[in-house]
């Protein structure tokens, strides 16, 4: 799961979500990415992401897979969680 100490680990509201997206874009170079078809269960859905990225500050390149789980209420995503292994840990 996304560590609590990670910058922008929790975002509420469109302004914070946009800030989190900007942080990602400024921190990682994405060489390739692929998303699965969603799996839906009631008010939840999940998507697997496979990514080849470089962490800009360290220049460390890695290939990762993560599972994104989203909760939906009244047609809007109200919660997201990301599950992945941290390389080297």
Domain ranges across the chain: 13-83
Q: Rounded CA gap, 87 and 89, in Å?
A: 6
Helix/strand/coil for 15: helix
Candidate from 5-9, 48-52, 68-72, 81-85 with smallest mean pLDDT = 5-9
pLDDT of 4 higher than 50: no
CA distance 33 to 2: 18
Residues 5-54: pLDDT tens digits?
A: 455 566 677 788 788 889 889 999 999 999 999 999 999 999 999 999 99
Helices (H) and strands (E) in the chain, counts: 1, 5
For residue 44, what pLDDT is reported? 96
Residue 61 has a pLDDT of 94
Architecture of domain 13-83: Roll (3.10)
């Amino acid at each position: 799961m996304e560590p609590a100490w990670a910058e922008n680990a929790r975002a509420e509201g469109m302004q914070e979500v946009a800030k989190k997206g900007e942080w990602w874009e400024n921190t990682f170079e994405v060489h390739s990415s692929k998303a699965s078809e969603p799996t839906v269960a009631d008010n939840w859905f999940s998507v697997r992401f496979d990514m080849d990225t470089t962490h800009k500050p360290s220049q460390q390149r890695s290939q990762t897979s993560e599972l994104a789980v989203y909760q939906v209420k009244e047609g809007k995503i109200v919660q997201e969680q990301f599950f992945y292994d941290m390389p080297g840990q």
